[in-house]
Amino acid sequence: MIFPTTKRPQAPAAAALQPNLAVVLASLFAGLFAAQSGAAEERTCGPDALGTSRTIEIDRSKGTAIGLQSYPRTLDLHDHEVVLTFDDGPAAPTPQVLDALAKECARVTFFLIGRNAESLPALVKRAAAEGHTIGHHSYSHPDKTLRLMSEDAAKADIEKGIAAVDKALGAKAAPFFRFPGFADTPELVADLTSRGYTVFGSDLWASDWSKMTPKAELDLVLSRLEKNRKGIVLFHDSQAITAQMLPEFLRELKTRGYSLVHIRPGDAPTPIAAAGADWTSTTEPIIAKTLGPKAKLAPHEHDHGAQEAPKSGDP
């Protein structure tokens, strides 16, 4: 996700739509190579690598909406466990991100923009071949967000995105969806979750849509992580600063005793932890500010669409 702004800091989709030939060829070869070398890469990761400590299955038969920045529940992670997620790819910095992850045997989840997947299908295949989970992030990542579109148009964009990613992947991607700009609607959340899609918000983010140095991003996301002590972390593999800071971030996770948890669709119930009694959305005020009053959902409206929201404070 990138928060909607009148002038976006970068236009990864537009950039990805017009890749130069060298990038395309490099991606193709990278994809072919990775498909054959993924297993070998796994074996070369020693105990010094961050690695992936465990896998959590996300129930594909029963969707929900998680991530404390938008929803009053999240994945039930242990202290010092993190789930890493990357939005808005595939894009020019994605190979560098994949290289950094492969070096540490780190498995993550990518929420792809459909039209980017159409442009760079080899990178979609490479990410999957290297063990990462592929999820969805709409087809066009509309500037005005899915919330401000008609319900039919929003659903059409979501479906087109799912089809584009699945086609690039050559298989069904995970039933995981993240709303661009976190700008959901109760109806769209209800529609997705009723079809087995889990809607992912995040527990913390790196603010990598803001202009800053890789070192500043590293310090910022580590300080947020030390405060939260765990959580679903949002990055953008479309952002060069994230690609640049990622090797050091993964090293810091290892040094500081964090474990990386991988998520993938499965048949077990999704382990959920309810938010505390003082929970509030951190994304709604930002959406209201960036999109204006029309985008603001009344709290009761917003809760209505979420499936079986456990009331905060209930046992």
Tell the smallest beta-carbon distance from residue 48 to Zn ion (Å): 33
Closer to Zn ion by CB, 235 or 258: give it. Answer: 235
User: Of the residues 236, 237, 262, 302, which is catalytic?
Assistant: 236
Structure tokens at 64: 């929900």
User: Of the residues 87, 88, 184, 208, which is catalytic?
Assistant: 87
CB 56 within 8 Å of CB 262 = yes
Closer to Zn ion by CB, 2 or 158: give it. Answer: 2
What is the C-alpha to C-alpha distance for residues 1 and 233, in angstroms, rounded to an integer? Answer: 12
Tell the smallest beta-carbon distance from residue 161 to Zn ion (Å): 11
b/e per residue, 203-230, with b = 16+ CB within 10 A? Answer: bbbbebbeebebeebbebbbebbeeeeb
**Residue 136, phi-psi category: left (phi > 0), alpha (psi -120 to 50), beta (remainder):** beta
CB 52 within 8 Å of CB 105 = yes
Tell the smallest beta-carbon distance from residue 36 to Zn ion (Å): 31
SS3 292: coil
Closer to Zn ion by CB, 2 or 241: give it. Answer: 2
Best CA proximity match to 309, nearest among 267, 279, 268, 265: 279
For residue 221, the 8-state DSSP code is H
87 included as an active-site residue: yes
Q: Binding residues for Zn ion, per CB under 5 A?
A: 1-2, 87-88, 180
236 included as an active-site residue: yes
Of all residues in the shown chain, the one whose CB is closest to Zn ion is 1
Tell the smallest beta-carbon distance from residue 315 to Zn ion (Å): 36
Closer to Zn ion by CB, 2 or 221: give it. Answer: 2
Q: Which residues are catalytic?
A: 87, 236
